[in-house]
Structure 1
Amino acid sequence: MLAAVWTTGTATDAENSIRELAALAETAGSQILDGVMQRRTSPDPGTYLGQGKAEELRVIVEATGADTVVCDGELSPSQRRGLEDKVKVKVIDRTALILDIFAQHAKSKEGKAQVELAQYEYLLPRLRGWGESMSRQAGGQVGAGNGMGSRGPGETKIELDRRRIRTKMAKLRREIAAMKTSRVTMRDSRRRNAVPAVAIAGYTNAGKSSLLNRLTGAGVLVENALFATLDPTIRRAMAPDGREFTLADTVGFVRSLPTQLVEAFRSTLEEVSDSDLLLHVVDGSHPDPEGQISAVRAVLAELKGDVPKEIVVINKIDAADPEVINRIVLREPRVIAVSARSGEGIDKLLDLIQEELPRPDVEIDVLVPYDRGDLVSKIHERGEVLTSEHVEQGTRINARVNAGLAHLLASYRVGTPVA
């Protein structure tokens, strides 16, 4: 059963939100039986829904045989308990549902650690005890002759659980930090080689992995499901002028993405802030693509890093309304419409990526011997070749390259005396 309180926005916004909640629940493996929505200025502090609507929900739950109620918002512990007392079945909120999906989809060691940390972040403030049944041990030595006043409930189970969770969270943070070091090392290696980095970000199920496959032939898992990608995939691609760049596919975003997840996946999302260019993928066939764009930018703003130059890529144009595409094109400064499925617009996207990639800034004129073909390949991969000709002594190339490669080629500059 789905339950939502509509407090702001239009009726269309509220319908889109509960439709997304249904998709999230189905991704988690649930079957949706029915749902209720209530218009209120704010959720009821005791039961989320008002008393009358909560009673109506109880009747529907009984009639349908539903075993879980999913609320489209984040519930306080008292709201969850209050609604459970009313409807007599398990109640979870949107945050718990998203955490469950992430737990199902995490494959790498880092992804699993990040999800586990987020789950503990969510669980810690929601631990509650009931009466003396939570007492774990006696404070005094009962029966050991220590006298009156020496006996007490001791450390309760809830305190013990909290301490264990905090210890586990600290351990997970250390593990994630260690894994981050490995990724930073690889990123620094790409930086030293001056390979430009492009990140793909966007709303969940917008087609980011499909676009990565289309641009690189990566063969990354593609599913018509929310949060199919959690672990960042990095592949090499080539611009039309022959320059190499890396493409990183990142975790999808969603409206009201739980704060715990943004924090836990911060190291993964750094692929975005450390890139030279951001491809912001939008599902052109979605009922509210502008809402998706706003939600993604809200999460990116939380990263506190520098958000790189952005190209809005409207995907699924083969299924989108042309009027919607035109509306986004008029609103966004750098935008292109493509279909990752059919390949339409991909060549134009590559041309645009080539234009926006940082250009090497050192101009060289070198004569590379024929037995150093590896250097010629590096110039083509990492630089911008202006002219190239084969002469008797080797390949003469006039190009723009980065400072590191220019230093490596210094001894081959035209006019450099031979040692």
Structure 2
Amino acid sequence: MNDILKNLRSKGFFHIFGASTLNKIIQFCSGIFLVRLVSKNDFGVYSQAQNIVNIFVLFIGLGTNYALMQFGSESKDIEERNSFFKLGLKIAIPFNLLLSGLILVYANIMHITDLKMKIILICMSSLPMFIYLFEYLQIYFRTSLLNIEFSKLSTTNTALMFLLSIVGAMSIGIFGIIFGNYLAYCITIGVAVYWLLKKQIFSHKFITIEKKVKKDFFSYSITSMFSNSISSLVYLIDIFLIGYLIKDNQILASYKTATLIPFALNFIPISIMTFIYPYFAQNRDNKNWVLKMYQKLQLGLIGFNFIVTFILVVFAPLIIKILFGDSYLDSIPYFRVLSIGYFIASSFRIPAGNVLSMVKKIKFLFIANCMVGIVNIGLDYYLIKKYSALGASISTLSVIILTSIIYNAYLYFYLRRE
């Protein structure tokens, strides 16, 4: 056990997991403060606008960050890695500018009756570029196995987001939150570039990437982008449809509040998968190794997540009352359903989906997610109209269960096939 712990410590696991834990605690505290600093109606408006922007953000960089994580991890040396990152940036910058333009178009041509939400969307239209650049730099640190720098950068960004958003909310309300986000990204991007300059990363030469490799890179980017976008819609389409079909900011605010804890806890499997990604990517052809490691990972996650979910479901009224106040007690039913969804997603869906990506089964993920995405939209539309926000939570749980079954069935079939 001591040898295992020493090995994990030397490779930076505790830096990544510790930073992820601290980041999610800070993000969660930020959510609690923001809920209490702005009115329930304003929180609903902000949540809806943020959700719309997040849908556009699903397509940032034309998926190049997914390819950079894979191809950067597989790179034989720093020159090859830098060449992939140069290629990714050339594709991403113009596409992110296009996304910002599309957000502006959406804000102005869609029938948005709430003037405040329209202004918020316009103010948030440049966020895709900042989000991409921050993630781009994080991925560079991660694929270079610079885990300490990766962890410090993540924590710095989260802490600044928290402090600047709170100060902004107290000063000028919702618009202060948006300004705080921009400022936090600017500072952390600057810090990351400074660290890379100190390590003389940019002094290395680039190599010429073959046309076939470029084609594979671009294909991986596009397929992963659509696959992950459809998958992520599970967490976004419900809020969008609640705003579109119900048109009640109070209900939307309650549902958004119910998602804060269950969705935030997904950092547990995500941080673990972030740490192991390069190792799985490097051993993707060794099926026995991948299967053995995946089974150990999944068993540990099931045990831990069961305890967490039990606490969330049983003590839901107390948790909501203490953290968010009496005005959000109507979110308890949604909270319980989404907590069960957290157990399924973090134990089965997220680990299996990430491993399938690591072994480059992105075409399968794309097809599976397209099919499930259609089911998701249909279920959301029907259940929200019939049961309001409770229908949204039931739809989310149903889709998480469906994707978990599909992902794991195919993954085990692939790994056990000779």
Q: Is TM (by shorter chain) over 0.5?
A: no
| Higher helix proportion (structure 1 or 2) | 2
Of structures 1 and 2, the larger Rg is shown by 1
Larger RCO, structure (CA 8 Å, separation 6 or more): 2
| Higher strand proportion (structure 1 or 2) | 1
TM-score range, shorter chain: under 0.3
